[in-house]
Structure 1
């Protein structure tokens, strides 16, 4: 065996990458052995490849996926520092978001009641409301609920109430709301809309905000008091009521945020959940 050919076991110890991982990286073209025994298929590497192996291990430790690692190493070989910085910036943003989520979980574990599903909350009895059509300002995109909803709300409020004391873009007539256009929970590609009812003229030059008309309808409604992660219990109550009274969902649900999380405690957050409903026709 040539001096510069390193058996896969030794290469694994040097790079601290398992042999199973090295076989996978070979299949993916990410780290291909310099030589392979014709009879046994045994893999051999060179000392020059150890640097690439160590870079792969470090990037994986930072949380990058294999396709991202491949792209970063390719950019490094081309000297494309801008692409590398872009990948690192995205990874940093995702890491900071995850840190925020973990801090929220830690706080919940410290403070919430484990005998009540973890949340201190209350839910009113469902009521049916006839809600008229209303004009609203809206922003929509596809994304992750936990990230996109608060960001879009912030962007919409910034568009309506510009800084420097300028005149508001419209007269607001109701609370801001999240409208869910998906029929089932979407992990990463949810159809998300945030909207706020308005009246009168609108001045929104140069923004991504749309003027829409939210449809009228017969809505089943409950008021949830407590942290936002517990709002799922409100939906549970609504669907139980629908089943008990022969009703079915008839369109996108709405969550109306009735107070500001920056001004009240989590236990005092008020969320009205509205679901358009229709009667299930009797079986023939």
Structure 2
């Protein structure tokens, strides 16, 4: 038929060269998309191995190429292109929300690293507003774990979830949950860290701990009233290691005010993590002081 068009089983199909030109892609890219299951040819000649495409597949091919330009992983591209319109758009929205969250976190990390590299840490710390708050005595149910920084996000969510569920049997949650770092948690140091949920009923909490709490290094303790020096950060700033800038800012402020740190640092989680966006305040980075 000419012009890169061949008749196969009574249907006019484009050779890979003609289809590549129409889709504005290379033949190499089309072979890759076929191999990855993103765009299969309409027909492959069993003898020659030549690939043939329908003209209508060009839009599909361009869609794959555009999604690749978003640095979308191939597995996620496959999900999008094989979904119907509304679901495909929803999958794209989920991916892009993840991208924006990652970029926001990386932006914070770049600011922190720039300060470290230039020796102007104070320029970074000056972006944080540090205040103090008085906290009443609290009955806490807690779970302690030795773990490294990359394990921390998953454990925090899971442990606080378990403790908040347990709090139903302990008179209910009375204040924002928090995580205490009794020693450094990093890529090399494993803490320990302690997830804490304030509850209303100490007697019920101790009964719960005796009955069901031993398996996960849980305990009940009463934290005396005290004062916290803290700075409020958004979700994008919580990820390690950029959160170190917030801890550094509070430590510098405490020293400048002539205060004394009286206990381990902590992160107080006062917002719904799942529904918060990258720029929404979610956490107070704090040190007990006097």
Q: CA deviation at 1:113?
A: 7.9
Say whether 1:238 aligns with 2:250.
yes
CA distance in 2, matches of 1:189, 1:264: 28
Structure-1 residue corresponding to 2:65: none
After superposition, the C-alpha distances for 1:212-250 in whole angstroms (9 at most, x for unaligned) are 112332321111123212322221211221232222322
CA distance in 1, matches of 2:266, 2:180: 5
After superposition, the C-alpha distances for 1:59-107 in whole angstroms (9 at most, x for unaligned) are xxxxxxxxxxxxxxxxxxxxxxxxxxxxxxxxxxxxxxxxxxxx9xx94
Aligned with residue 103 of structure 2, among 111, 115, 119: 111
After superposition, the C-alpha distances for 1:118-176 in whole angstroms (9 at most, x for unaligned) are 479996521122222210110002111331453254134235427xxxx9222101121
- Mapping of 1:86-235 within 5 angstroms? 107=99, 111-112=103-104, 117-118=109-110, 125-148=129-152, 150-161=154-165, 168-170=168-170, 171-182=172-183, 187-200=188-201, 201-202=204-205, 204=208, 205-207=211-213, 208=216, 209-227=218-236, 228-229=238-239, 230-235=242-247
TM-score by length of 1: 0.50
TM-score by length of 2: 0.49
CA distance in 1, matches of 2:224, 2:187: 24
Task: Specify whether residues 212 and 150 from structure 1 end up closer, same or farther in structure 2 by C-alpha distance, changes over 3 A only.
Answer: farther
Structure-2 residue corresponding to 1:43: none
- Mapping of 1:59-70 within 5 angstroms? none
CA RMSD of aligned residues (A): 3.5
Instruction: State whether residues 128 and 220 of structure 1, in contact with CA within 8 Å, keep that contact through their aligned partners in structure 2.
Output: yes
Q: Which SS does the other structure have where 2:275 is aligned?
A: coil
Question: Greater helix share, 1 or 2?
Answer: 2
Instruction: State whether residues 177 and 198 of structure 2, in contact with CA within 8 Å, keep that contact through their aligned partners in structure 1.
Output: yes
Task: Specify whether residues 145 and 219 from structure 1 end up closer, same or farther in structure 2 by C-alpha distance, changes over 3 A only.
Answer: same
Instruction: State whether residues 164 and 197 of structure 2, in contact with CA within 8 Å, keep that contact through their aligned partners in structure 1.
Output: no
Runs of 5+ unmatched residues, structure 2: 1-94, 113-123
CA distance in 1, matches of 2:199, 2:285: 20
CA distance in 1, matches of 2:247, 2:154: 20
Task: Specify whether residues 244 and 113 from structure 1 end up closer, same or farther in structure 2 by C-alpha distance, changes over 3 A only.
Answer: same
Instruction: State whether residues 149 and 192 of structure 1, in contact with CA within 8 Å, keep that contact through their aligned partners in structure 2.
Output: no
Q: CA deviation at 1:259?
A: 1.4
CA distance in 2, matches of 1:154, 1:255: 15
